Structure 1
Amino acid sequence: MSEIVHLRLKRKVHMSSYHPVLLKDIALVSCSIDLKEKLRTLPLHYITKKDKNIVIIDGFTVIQRLNELHPGLDVQLIGPNQCIVQVEMTKRSASPLIIFGIWLLLFIGAAMAIMNFHYDVAMEAVQQKLHFMLTGEERKHPYWIQIPYSIGLGLGMILFFNHLFNKRFNEEPSPLEVEVFNYQQDLDNYIVLHENKVESNHDDDPR
């Protein structure tokens, strides 16, 4: 009776350049202990310069490779059908001057966006009118309203993004993190559809 091997491919992994991709790097394996040790070190792909920075390991390729080396196995794939291997080249540390320049650019851009929004909705006139309704006096700069409003605006932004530098207030993801996650999922799906050589070769097969 053939032994059953359960495989669950990881959605995405990061690896160093020019290293062999082993089964243990891209998948979780469930089978007998002796067989598991043999399968985990099975090489599936050798990263070369031609791969650039993305390699797609298809589940069909993994099953075919296992059947070639161990014909008696009953391989059952669970979960994702492909694994994206992100090849990480040597990265240089970012210059503090570049980091400061990007931070300054984002700070000025965010400040301009907030000021333009307040100008469009006539926030200053609203605060002046609110001051007149509460005190009966006309004042061009009602600081007792404007200062708490500015502080509350900054605190609201911190709570909205759920971060203060590296500190997270709770485990709930911020709206920005959710949008980045959705964008990354869409990007990964696009890569799987357009970079999967197994499906491309199958589509080109006239049979």
Structure 2
Amino acid sequence: MTSSQVFIQMKKRILARPGQILRVGDVSRVLAEEDREQIESLPVTRFGPEEGNMAVVELMDVVRIIRREYPTLDIRTVGNPQVLIEFKKIGPKPGWITVAGVWLLLFVGSGLAIMNFHTDVSMKEVHERIYYLMTGMHHSRPLILQIPYSLGIGLGMVLFFNHLFKQKFNDEPSPLELEVFMYQESIDQYVIDHEKTKGQKGSRVPSG
């Protein structure tokens, strides 16, 4: 290969199987003037089951492996300095009884949470007071307020989370999605820092 340019951008996070040989194309995106497929097929590392659920591959390790095979290559790097590897073990899918149990637990729990909140803020008394101010009459069950309010809670939750089952109303992320994203970002950064502290390298795969 002549002294041509190749651009390497590490992926942010990938899934792999324990013991899988990870190649350049698995952990990064490669833009090359020539021989891109040969570069992507270079083995980088292999992590065994003893590595746990997550590992990290550094950009410099990828550059060193490419440079070893193509010493005259002009390598340019962009983006993240490492990629986070998450190992997924194939397990049985949960049965419908498990799914129904989890759904029932969440349904009852959320219902109790809403009822306890309404009890804490005396929502029933507030509705009665509003009904009295509007009509001048006392009523222990002002359904004309309670029914629209109950329906509004459900509609408000749908609009708040921007989801109705699998249907999304627009591309704007919901507050829950943002919180999950920020939580995942914190977890990823912790794992990266932790793996660097351990000096985890994995088992290098011979390139020959």
Q: TM-score, normalised by structure 1?
A: 0.91
2:205 is matched with none
1:21 is matched with 22
Q: Which has the higher helix share?
A: 1
Do 1:127 and 1:142's aligned partners in 2 also have CA atoms closer than 8 Å?
yes
Which consecutive residues of structure 2, in runs of 5 or more, have no partner in the other structure?
Answer: 202-208
- 1:71-106 deviations in Å (ceiling 9; x for gaps): 112222100000011121112101211111111111
1:7 is matched with 8
1:133 is matched with 133
After the TM superposition, list the runs of 4 or more consecutive aligned residues in structure 1 that deviate by more than 3 angstroms: none
1:123 is matched with 123
1:68 is matched with 68
Verify: 1:166 aligned to 2:162, yes or no: no
2:87 is matched with 87
Structure 1 residue 117: deviation in Å? 1.1
1:205 is matched with none
Structure 1 residue 126: deviation in Å? 0.9
Q: For 2:72 and 2:168, how far apart are their aligned partners in 1?
A: 50
Structure 1 residue 201: deviation in Å? 7.3
Secondary structure of the residue that 1:24 maps to in structure 2? helix
Verify: 1:104 aligned to 2:107, yes or no: no
Q: Say what the alpha-carbon RMSD is for the aligned residues.
A: 1.8
Give the AA of the match of 2:31: S
Q: TM-score, normalised by structure 2?
A: 0.90
- 1:39-73 deviations in Å (ceiling 9; x for gaps): 01111012322223222110011111111111112
Q: For 2:91 and 2:169, how far apart are their aligned partners in 1?
A: 31
Secondary structure of the residue that 2:199 maps to in structure 1? helix
Q: For 1:120 and 1:19, how far apart are their aligned partners in 2?
A: 54
Give the AA of the match of 2:191: I
Secondary structure of the residue that 1:141 maps to in structure 2? coil
1:148 is matched with 148
Percent of matched pairs sharing the same residue? 34
Secondary structure of the residue that 1:196 maps to in structure 2? helix
Give the AA of the match of 1:17: P
Q: For 1:196 and 1:90, how far apart are their aligned partners in 2?
A: 27
Paired residues, number: 200
1:200 is matched with 199
Do 1:56 and 1:84's aligned partners in 2 also have CA atoms closer than 8 Å?
yes
Tell me which of the two structures has the higher relative contact order, counting C-alpha pairs closer than 8 angstroms and 6 or more residues apart: 2
Give the AA of the match of 2:73: L
